[in-house]
Chains A and B, each alone.
Chain A
Amino acid sequence: MWNRRKEEEPPPPKPVSAPPPKSEPVPVKEGIPMSSLPSRPTDTRTEVVRGGAAVIGKSVILKGQIYGREDLTIDGDVEGTVELQEHRLTVGPNGKVVATIKAREIVVLGTVQGNIETREKIEIRKDAKVVGDIRTARIVIEDGAYFKGSIDIVRAEAPKPAAVPKPQPVAVAASGSPAAAASAGDTKR
Protein backbone atom coordinates (compact mmCIF):
# COMPACT_ATOMS: atom_id res chain seq x y z
CA MET A 1 0.00 0.00 0.00
CA TRP A 2 2.76 2.36 0.92
CA ASN A 3 4.92 1.08 -1.82
CA ARG A 4 2.60 2.26 -4.52
CA ARG A 5 2.25 5.61 -3.04
CA LYS A 6 5.95 5.92 -3.00
CA GLU A 7 6.34 4.82 -6.58
CA GLU A 8 4.03 7.56 -7.64
CA GLU A 9 5.89 10.34 -6.03
CA PRO A 10 8.70 11.03 -3.65
CA PRO A 11 7.12 13.62 -1.32
CA PRO A 12 9.96 13.23 1.07
CA PRO A 13 9.52 12.47 4.72
CA LYS A 14 5.85 13.19 5.24
CA PRO A 15 4.38 10.06 3.66
CA VAL A 16 6.20 7.96 6.17
CA SER A 17 4.32 9.46 9.01
CA ALA A 18 1.28 10.11 6.85
CA PRO A 19 -0.66 6.87 7.35
CA PRO A 20 -2.26 7.77 10.65
CA PRO A 21 -3.55 11.22 9.58
CA LYS A 22 -5.65 9.76 6.76
CA SER A 23 -8.63 11.80 7.73
CA GLU A 24 -6.64 14.82 8.82
CA PRO A 25 -7.91 18.10 7.44
CA VAL A 26 -4.98 18.63 5.13
CA PRO A 27 -6.84 18.37 1.83
CA VAL A 28 -5.15 21.36 0.33
CA LYS A 29 -1.77 19.77 0.56
CA GLU A 30 -3.17 16.44 -0.56
CA GLY A 31 -3.55 17.97 -3.98
CA ILE A 32 0.14 18.49 -4.24
CA PRO A 33 1.40 14.99 -4.92
CA MET A 34 1.32 15.77 -8.61
CA SER A 35 4.14 18.17 -8.16
CA SER A 36 7.61 16.75 -8.10
CA LEU A 37 8.98 19.86 -6.47
CA PRO A 38 8.64 19.65 -2.73
CA SER A 39 10.13 23.10 -2.42
CA ARG A 40 7.24 24.75 -4.26
CA PRO A 41 4.02 24.01 -2.43
CA THR A 42 2.55 27.29 -3.56
CA ASP A 43 2.08 25.96 -7.08
CA THR A 44 -0.90 24.01 -5.83
CA ARG A 45 -3.49 25.91 -7.87
CA THR A 46 -2.11 25.07 -11.29
CA GLU A 47 -1.29 21.48 -10.44
CA VAL A 48 -4.69 20.76 -9.01
CA VAL A 49 -6.39 22.05 -12.11
CA ARG A 50 -4.49 19.51 -14.18
CA GLY A 51 -5.96 16.63 -12.26
CA GLY A 52 -2.90 14.40 -12.21
CA ALA A 53 -1.59 14.15 -15.74
CA ALA A 54 -1.11 16.46 -18.63
CA VAL A 55 -2.62 15.28 -21.88
CA ILE A 56 -1.60 15.89 -25.47
CA GLY A 57 -4.78 15.13 -27.32
CA LYS A 58 -5.07 13.10 -30.46
CA SER A 59 -5.48 16.06 -32.77
CA VAL A 60 -2.34 17.74 -31.50
CA ILE A 61 0.93 17.67 -33.44
CA LEU A 62 3.92 18.77 -31.48
CA LYS A 63 7.55 19.13 -32.51
CA GLY A 64 10.29 19.96 -30.06
CA GLN A 65 11.40 19.22 -26.54
CA ILE A 66 9.09 18.30 -23.74
CA TYR A 67 10.30 18.51 -20.14
CA GLY A 68 7.80 17.72 -17.48
CA ARG A 69 7.38 17.44 -13.76
CA GLU A 70 4.11 15.64 -13.84
CA ASP A 71 2.70 12.59 -15.53
CA LEU A 72 1.97 12.99 -19.20
CA THR A 73 -0.30 11.22 -21.65
CA ILE A 74 0.40 11.59 -25.34
CA ASP A 75 -2.40 10.67 -27.67
CA GLY A 76 -1.32 12.88 -30.55
CA ASP A 77 1.81 13.16 -32.68
CA VAL A 78 5.03 14.18 -30.98
CA GLU A 79 8.44 14.52 -32.51
CA GLY A 80 11.60 15.50 -30.63
CA THR A 81 12.50 14.60 -27.07
CA VAL A 82 10.38 13.82 -24.05
CA GLU A 83 11.86 14.02 -20.58
CA LEU A 84 9.84 13.32 -17.47
CA GLN A 85 12.56 12.04 -15.23
CA GLU A 86 10.46 11.39 -12.14
CA HIS A 87 7.14 10.78 -13.80
CA ARG A 88 5.12 8.50 -15.92
CA LEU A 89 4.55 8.79 -19.65
CA THR A 90 1.62 7.09 -21.29
CA VAL A 91 1.49 6.90 -25.06
CA GLY A 92 -2.16 6.38 -25.80
CA PRO A 93 -3.59 4.18 -28.55
CA ASN A 94 -3.62 7.10 -30.97
CA GLY A 95 -0.25 8.39 -29.90
CA LYS A 96 2.63 8.49 -32.34
CA VAL A 97 5.89 9.50 -30.78
CA VAL A 98 9.12 9.87 -32.69
CA ALA A 99 11.43 10.89 -29.91
CA THR A 100 14.08 10.04 -27.42
CA ILE A 101 12.25 9.42 -24.18
CA LYS A 102 13.34 9.51 -20.57
CA ALA A 103 10.87 8.89 -17.81
CA ARG A 104 10.42 7.07 -14.58
CA GLU A 105 7.86 4.78 -16.12
CA ILE A 106 6.39 4.41 -19.59
CA VAL A 107 3.28 2.68 -20.83
CA VAL A 108 2.90 2.34 -24.59
CA LEU A 109 -0.40 1.60 -26.25
CA GLY A 110 0.36 3.41 -29.49
CA THR A 111 3.52 3.86 -31.51
CA VAL A 112 6.95 4.93 -30.39
CA GLN A 113 10.03 5.30 -32.49
CA GLY A 114 13.17 6.27 -30.66
CA ASN A 115 15.37 5.25 -27.79
CA ILE A 116 13.74 4.90 -24.41
CA GLU A 117 15.18 5.11 -20.94
CA THR A 118 13.12 4.44 -17.85
CA ARG A 119 14.24 4.25 -14.27
CA GLU A 120 11.56 1.82 -13.22
CA LYS A 121 9.48 0.14 -15.85
CA ILE A 122 8.23 0.09 -19.40
CA GLU A 123 5.07 -1.64 -20.49
CA ILE A 124 4.46 -2.35 -24.15
CA ARG A 125 0.82 -3.22 -24.42
CA LYS A 126 -0.99 -5.37 -26.96
CA ASP A 127 -1.10 -3.69 -30.39
CA ALA A 128 1.56 -1.20 -29.42
CA LYS A 129 4.54 -0.71 -31.67
CA VAL A 130 7.95 0.26 -30.39
CA VAL A 131 11.06 0.64 -32.51
CA GLY A 132 14.18 1.70 -30.65
CA ASP A 133 16.59 0.70 -27.95
CA ILE A 134 15.35 0.38 -24.40
CA ARG A 135 17.21 0.80 -21.12
CA THR A 136 15.05 0.02 -18.15
CA ALA A 137 14.88 -1.76 -14.83
CA ARG A 138 11.81 -3.78 -15.80
CA ILE A 139 9.95 -4.51 -18.98
CA VAL A 140 6.55 -5.95 -19.71
CA ILE A 141 5.67 -6.93 -23.27
CA GLU A 142 2.17 -8.11 -23.95
CA ASP A 143 1.36 -10.64 -26.64
CA GLY A 144 0.48 -8.86 -29.84
CA ALA A 145 2.88 -6.01 -29.24
CA TYR A 146 5.59 -5.32 -31.78
CA PHE A 147 9.04 -4.43 -30.64
CA LYS A 148 12.19 -3.99 -32.63
CA GLY A 149 15.33 -2.97 -30.87
CA SER A 150 17.62 -3.85 -28.02
CA ILE A 151 16.74 -4.29 -24.39
CA ASP A 152 19.19 -3.51 -21.63
CA ILE A 153 18.04 -4.26 -18.16
CA VAL A 154 19.63 -1.84 -15.76
CA ARG A 155 19.50 -2.79 -12.14
CA ALA A 156 18.05 -0.01 -10.04
CA GLU A 157 20.59 2.15 -8.27
CA ALA A 158 20.05 2.84 -4.58
CA PRO A 159 22.19 5.88 -3.82
CA LYS A 160 19.69 8.58 -4.86
CA PRO A 161 17.37 8.36 -1.83
CA ALA A 162 20.33 9.23 0.37
CA ALA A 163 19.26 12.86 0.47
CA VAL A 164 15.62 12.03 1.17
CA PRO A 165 15.95 9.67 4.15
CA LYS A 166 17.67 12.29 6.25
CA PRO A 167 14.53 13.65 7.83
CA GLN A 168 13.11 10.16 8.27
CA PRO A 169 14.89 9.24 11.45
CA VAL A 170 13.41 12.34 13.01
CA ALA A 171 9.90 11.44 11.90
CA VAL A 172 10.45 7.86 12.95
CA ALA A 173 11.48 8.81 16.40
CA ALA A 174 8.38 10.89 16.73
CA SER A 175 5.86 8.48 15.30
CA GLY A 176 6.90 5.13 16.71
CA SER A 177 9.16 2.43 15.52
CA PRO A 178 7.30 -0.59 14.01
CA ALA A 179 5.62 1.16 11.11
CA ALA A 180 8.62 3.30 10.56
CA ALA A 181 10.87 0.29 10.46
CA ALA A 182 8.58 -1.40 7.95
CA SER A 183 8.38 1.59 5.73
CA ALA A 184 12.11 2.09 5.91
CA GLY A 185 12.44 -1.41 4.52
CA ASP A 186 10.02 -0.58 1.74
CA THR A 187 11.98 2.43 0.72
CA LYS A 188 15.07 0.39 0.16
CA ARG A 189 13.26 -1.93 -2.19
Chain B
Amino acid sequence: MFFQNALDFLPILLKGAAVTLQVTAGSFVLSSLIGLVLALMMVSKVRAIALFAISVVNVIRGLPIIVQLFYIYFVLPEFGIQLTAMQAGIIGLGIAYSAYQAENFRAGIQAIQQGQIEAAESLGMRGAMVMRRVVLPQAFRIALPPYGNTLVMMLKDSSLVSTITVAEMTRAGQLIASSTFENMTVYTLVALLYLAMSLPLSFALRRLEARFSTRRTS
Protein backbone atom coordinates (compact mmCIF):
# COMPACT_ATOMS: atom_id res chain seq x y z
CA MET B 1 0.00 0.00 0.00
CA PHE B 2 2.66 2.44 1.07
CA PHE B 3 4.88 1.54 -1.85
CA GLN B 4 2.07 1.68 -4.38
CA ASN B 5 1.11 5.16 -3.17
CA ALA B 6 4.73 6.17 -3.01
CA LEU B 7 5.26 5.20 -6.62
CA ASP B 8 2.23 7.23 -7.62
CA PHE B 9 3.30 10.32 -5.66
CA LEU B 10 6.99 10.21 -6.39
CA PRO B 11 6.96 11.75 -9.90
CA ILE B 12 4.97 14.74 -8.65
CA LEU B 13 7.23 15.19 -5.64
CA LEU B 14 10.35 14.90 -7.78
CA LYS B 15 9.04 17.68 -9.99
CA GLY B 16 8.62 19.69 -6.81
CA ALA B 17 12.14 18.77 -5.76
CA ALA B 18 13.45 20.19 -9.04
CA VAL B 19 11.71 23.48 -8.24
CA THR B 20 13.13 23.35 -4.70
CA LEU B 21 16.63 23.07 -6.16
CA GLN B 22 15.99 25.95 -8.56
CA VAL B 23 14.71 28.20 -5.79
CA THR B 24 17.64 27.25 -3.56
CA ALA B 25 20.27 27.77 -6.26
CA GLY B 26 18.79 31.07 -7.43
CA SER B 27 18.38 32.56 -4.00
CA PHE B 28 21.77 31.26 -2.88
CA VAL B 29 23.52 33.05 -5.73
CA LEU B 30 21.50 36.20 -5.17
CA SER B 31 22.07 36.19 -1.40
CA SER B 32 25.81 35.64 -1.94
CA LEU B 33 26.08 38.62 -4.27
CA ILE B 34 24.05 40.98 -2.10
CA GLY B 35 25.76 39.61 1.01
CA LEU B 36 29.23 40.22 -0.41
CA VAL B 37 28.36 43.81 -1.33
CA LEU B 38 26.89 44.40 2.14
CA ALA B 39 29.94 42.84 3.80
CA LEU B 40 32.33 45.06 1.82
CA MET B 41 30.23 48.08 2.80
CA MET B 42 30.22 47.01 6.45
CA VAL B 43 34.04 46.96 6.59
CA SER B 44 34.31 50.26 4.72
CA LYS B 45 36.39 52.98 6.33
CA VAL B 46 33.68 55.47 5.37
CA ARG B 47 31.45 55.40 8.43
CA ALA B 48 28.27 56.41 6.63
CA ILE B 49 28.57 53.49 4.22
CA ALA B 50 29.29 51.03 7.03
CA LEU B 51 26.39 52.29 9.12
CA PHE B 52 24.02 52.11 6.16
CA ALA B 53 24.96 48.49 5.46
CA ILE B 54 24.70 47.53 9.12
CA SER B 55 21.21 49.07 9.27
CA VAL B 56 20.11 47.19 6.16
CA VAL B 57 21.36 43.93 7.63
CA ASN B 58 19.57 44.56 10.92
CA VAL B 59 16.28 45.41 9.23
CA ILE B 60 16.42 42.32 7.01
CA ARG B 61 17.32 40.12 9.96
CA GLY B 62 14.56 41.63 12.05
CA LEU B 63 11.79 40.59 9.67
CA PRO B 64 10.33 37.09 9.37
CA ILE B 65 11.14 35.56 6.00
CA ILE B 66 7.47 34.85 5.31
CA VAL B 67 6.60 38.50 5.82
CA GLN B 68 9.32 39.49 3.34
CA LEU B 69 7.97 36.98 0.82
CA PHE B 70 4.37 38.21 1.26
CA TYR B 71 5.53 41.78 0.89
CA ILE B 72 7.34 41.11 -2.36
CA TYR B 73 4.62 38.92 -3.85
CA PHE B 74 1.45 40.64 -2.62
CA VAL B 75 2.42 44.25 -1.88
CA LEU B 76 4.87 45.17 -4.64
CA PRO B 77 2.21 44.70 -7.36
CA GLU B 78 0.42 47.68 -5.83
CA PHE B 79 3.51 49.70 -6.75
CA GLY B 80 3.37 48.30 -10.26
CA ILE B 81 6.06 45.67 -9.72
CA GLN B 82 4.52 42.40 -10.85
CA LEU B 83 6.60 39.28 -10.27
CA THR B 84 5.87 35.63 -10.88
CA ALA B 85 5.68 33.50 -7.75
CA MET B 86 9.01 31.91 -8.68
CA GLN B 87 10.72 35.29 -9.16
CA ALA B 88 9.25 36.63 -5.94
CA GLY B 89 10.35 33.50 -4.10
CA ILE B 90 13.95 33.65 -5.31
CA ILE B 91 14.25 37.39 -4.74
CA GLY B 92 12.57 37.23 -1.33
CA LEU B 93 14.63 34.34 -0.06
CA GLY B 94 17.76 35.87 -1.62
CA ILE B 95 17.26 39.18 0.16
CA ALA B 96 16.25 37.55 3.44
CA TYR B 97 19.39 35.44 3.48
CA SER B 98 21.72 38.18 2.22
CA ALA B 99 21.87 39.51 5.78
CA TYR B 100 23.27 36.20 7.07
CA GLN B 101 25.62 35.90 4.12
CA ALA B 102 26.86 39.43 4.81
CA GLU B 103 27.63 38.45 8.39
CA ASN B 104 29.47 35.30 7.21
CA PHE B 105 31.62 37.29 4.80
CA ARG B 106 32.22 40.17 7.20
CA ALA B 107 33.47 37.79 9.89
CA GLY B 108 35.77 36.18 7.31
CA ILE B 109 37.15 39.51 6.12
CA GLN B 110 37.74 40.78 9.65
CA ALA B 111 39.55 37.58 10.63
CA ILE B 112 42.37 38.41 8.20
CA GLN B 113 45.43 39.57 10.07
CA GLN B 114 46.54 43.16 9.65
CA GLY B 115 49.98 41.88 8.65
CA GLN B 116 48.51 40.37 5.48
CA ILE B 117 47.08 43.71 4.46
CA GLU B 118 50.35 45.49 5.28
CA ALA B 119 52.34 42.97 3.24
CA ALA B 120 50.06 43.56 0.27
CA GLU B 121 50.18 47.32 0.70
CA SER B 122 53.93 47.36 0.97
CA LEU B 123 54.11 45.68 -2.44
CA GLY B 124 52.32 48.79 -3.69
CA MET B 125 48.85 47.27 -4.04
CA ARG B 126 45.85 49.59 -3.93
CA GLY B 127 42.86 48.93 -1.70
CA ALA B 128 40.70 47.12 -4.25
CA MET B 129 43.56 44.84 -5.28
CA VAL B 130 44.46 44.08 -1.65
CA MET B 131 40.84 42.99 -1.20
CA ARG B 132 40.71 40.90 -4.36
CA ARG B 133 44.12 39.24 -4.26
CA VAL B 134 44.81 38.87 -0.55
CA VAL B 135 41.83 39.44 1.74
CA LEU B 136 38.87 37.84 -0.06
CA PRO B 137 40.57 34.56 -1.07
CA GLN B 138 41.52 34.00 2.57
CA ALA B 139 38.24 35.32 3.93
CA PHE B 140 36.36 32.90 1.72
CA ARG B 141 38.26 29.96 3.20
CA ILE B 142 37.45 31.15 6.71
CA ALA B 143 33.81 31.79 5.82
CA LEU B 144 33.38 28.45 4.08
CA PRO B 145 31.91 26.47 7.02
CA PRO B 146 29.20 29.05 7.88
CA TYR B 147 28.67 29.66 4.16
CA GLY B 148 27.97 25.96 3.58
CA ASN B 149 25.76 25.89 6.63
CA THR B 150 23.75 28.74 5.17
CA LEU B 151 23.32 26.81 1.92
CA VAL B 152 21.86 23.83 3.78
CA MET B 153 19.52 26.12 5.70
CA MET B 154 18.40 27.74 2.46
CA LEU B 155 17.62 24.37 0.94
CA LYS B 156 15.25 23.68 3.82
CA ASP B 157 13.85 27.21 4.03
CA SER B 158 13.04 27.17 0.33
CA SER B 159 9.89 25.38 1.57
CA LEU B 160 8.74 28.82 2.79
CA VAL B 161 8.05 29.91 -0.78
CA SER B 162 5.22 27.38 -0.81
CA THR B 163 3.29 30.10 1.04
CA ILE B 164 3.34 32.26 -2.08
CA THR B 165 2.15 29.39 -4.32
CA VAL B 166 5.49 28.26 -5.74
CA ALA B 167 5.04 24.57 -6.51
CA GLU B 168 8.18 23.34 -4.84
CA MET B 169 8.36 20.04 -3.01
CA THR B 170 6.58 20.94 0.22
CA ARG B 171 3.76 22.56 -1.73
CA ALA B 172 3.50 19.52 -4.01
CA GLY B 173 3.27 17.34 -0.91
CA GLN B 174 0.55 19.52 0.58
CA LEU B 175 -1.48 19.31 -2.59
CA ILE B 176 -1.23 15.52 -2.77
CA ALA B 177 -1.98 15.12 0.92
CA SER B 178 -5.06 17.30 0.84
CA SER B 179 -6.55 15.38 -2.07
CA THR B 180 -5.61 11.84 -0.98
CA PHE B 181 -5.43 12.15 2.83
CA GLU B 182 -2.32 9.93 2.68
CA ASN B 183 -0.57 12.25 5.11
CA MET B 184 1.92 9.75 6.47
CA THR B 185 3.04 8.47 3.09
CA VAL B 186 3.31 11.92 1.57
CA TYR B 187 5.18 13.67 4.34
CA THR B 188 7.47 10.72 4.96
CA LEU B 189 8.41 10.87 1.31
CA VAL B 190 8.87 14.62 1.45
CA ALA B 191 11.10 14.29 4.49
CA LEU B 192 13.17 11.54 2.87
CA LEU B 193 13.58 13.57 -0.29
CA TYR B 194 14.81 16.60 1.67
CA LEU B 195 17.33 14.37 3.42
CA ALA B 196 18.36 12.91 0.06
CA MET B 197 19.33 16.44 -0.96
CA SER B 198 20.68 17.89 2.26
CA LEU B 199 22.83 14.99 3.49
CA PRO B 200 24.95 14.65 0.33
CA LEU B 201 25.25 18.43 0.30
CA SER B 202 26.53 18.48 3.88
CA PHE B 203 28.95 15.69 3.03
CA ALA B 204 30.27 17.52 -0.02
CA LEU B 205 30.71 20.70 1.99
CA ARG B 206 32.62 18.84 4.67
CA ARG B 207 35.02 17.56 2.04
CA LEU B 208 35.46 20.99 0.53
CA GLU B 209 36.25 22.42 3.97
CA ALA B 210 38.81 19.71 4.59
CA ARG B 211 40.51 20.52 1.32
CA PHE B 212 40.86 24.17 2.20
CA SER B 213 41.50 23.91 5.90
CA THR B 214 45.15 22.87 5.65
CA ARG B 215 46.37 26.23 4.38
CA ARG B 216 43.77 28.64 5.49
CA THR B 217 45.39 31.73 6.87
CA SER B 218 48.51 32.90 8.53
Please determine whether chains A and B interact with each other in the same assembly: no
